[in-house]
Structure 1
Amino acid sequence: MFKKADNNALWAIGISLVLFFIGGILTTVVPPLVDTSWAKPFANQDPAKGMTGKVLPLTDLQKKGRDIYVREGCWYCHTQQVRTLLADTKRYGWRGVDAPISTPDEFVYDDPHMFGTKRTGPDLARIGGKYDEQWHRTHFRNPRDLVKGSIMPPYPWIVNNPEEFKAMVAYLQSLGRGKDWRPANDYEK
């Protein structure tokens, strides 16, 4: 049968498509059927270690902030997933503690998922609680005031609209908060 594929383009295309669909089914359909824990929210409950975090659905204010995040195209430059690379876990960590890699159960309430398309800007998966509201205000007004060499454009219309700004900050503060992994949970006030 495979010898026919050597001499006939239609057979080669047909066999290629069959193998492609088998591979697609094995990598996208079978894993969720085998491991159903992916569809459940992450629960980081270990009171002995002081861990009480868990993934919760977004509040209405956070949803509004997420809508602004999508509207402004933030996810084109910022990802929301810490990869399994050591450099990622170190870069997006907090006060010497490596950031945990992103797992599927963290995204069960996301619709659609905001993984991002490229890493022009830093990953925001673990940004929640790292910076206070004033930091975000300054950053949206002029990113280069805080991050030298940043290519992010300013967003003064968000800063000048108190409702939108509050919603955007609420959404950003929610990112990565489900996993209780930082030694000091929030920025120093």
Structure 2
Amino acid sequence: MPEAHRKLERNAIGFVLAIIVVSSIGGLVEIAPLYTIDETVESDPNMRVYTPLELAGRNIYIREGCYACHSQMIRTLRDEVERYGPYSLAVESKYDHPMLWGSKRTGPDLARVGGKYSDFWHVAHLINPRDVVAGSVMPAYPWLARNPLKISDLGDHLAALRKVGVPYTDDMIANASADAFGQASPDASQSSGVTERYGNDTTVSAFDGVPDRVTEMDAVVAYLQVLGKLTKAAETEGPAGQGG
């Protein structure tokens, strides 16, 4: 075998062809399953898209590098399911651009953090994590409560996502700024439009506790509160709703 290997290395054309063959096998293994993606990826016709406020919060979450310490992917292992809930399904990230599954866990997985804590808890946690989790190593993000959220260009964000397959309607795009304000201002006239466009289960709340303004804190908390709640597909997937 060593002699055959030496001959192959000395034959430049043969060596290149051997590399191509081996690489093709690896590529085939990775690419072929994609042709059956319709059979392997779950579907949920009732899954809703992110509201403009939630999408803005997701953008801030990415901007601040939160994905570097928190994954959004619950594996099928028993201890993962017992700690975090039903394992993650591909359909749950259908409208995520980019997806944030990740693997790094300096902090806990956030795939199903939506509704686990109150808005007040999230605000306190983001302003100073040690106030609610004594041993936390998470950085503080107090400026989120001070920074007003830029909502004037949210329609453009929705329009861009529609180009890559997210089913935002013309009505959603046209009312993006108003819906962002309305979702964080329960008493405002714009709040009713949010549930009309995104569904009655959409949370309308003064997320940061101050209803007459929209801050980056409103957006981030709105995003965290919807994680794992865009679809109920995971609740019915597999035995006992969690694959085991």
- TM-score of Structure 1 vs Structure 2, range by shorter chain: 0.7 to 0.9
**Does 2:21 correspond to 1:18?**
yes
Residues 1:174 and 2:226 are matched in the alignment: yes
Matched with 2:187 is none
Distance in 2 of aligned mates of 1:123 and 1:140: 16
Which residue is equivalent to 1:63?
55
- Superposed, 1:24-43 pairs within 5 Å as 24-27=27-30, 29-38=31-40, 41-42=43-44
Instruction: Using structure 1 for the length normalisation, give the TM-score.
Output: 0.76
Deviations 1:13-65 (A, max 9, x none): 753453233223322x222212314566435xxxxxxxxxx432111111100
* Alpha-carbon distance change, 89 to 70 in structure 1, aligned in 2, over 3 angstroms: same
1:122 alignment counterpart: 108
Q: Which runs of 5+ in 2 are unaligned?
A: 148-213, 236-244
C-alpha distance 42-3 of structure 1, shift in aligned 2 (>3 A): farther
Deviation at 1:67, TM superposition (A): 0.5
CA distance in 1, matches of 2:3, 2:221: 61
5+ residue gaps, structure 1, are 44-53, 93-98, 182-189
Q: CA RMSD in A?
A: 2.5
User: Equivalents in 2 of 1:160, 1:41: separation in Å?
Assistant: 39
- TM-score of the two chains, using structure 2 as the length reference: 0.60
Whole-Å Cα distance in 2 between the matches of residues 38 and 164 of structure 1? 37
Q: Aligned partner of 2:60: which letter?
A: I
Match of 1:132 among 98, 118, 137: 118
Segments of 4+ in structure 1 off by > 6 A? none
CA separation of 1:120 and 1:17: change in aligned 2, threshold 3 A? farther
The total of aligned residue pairs comes to 164
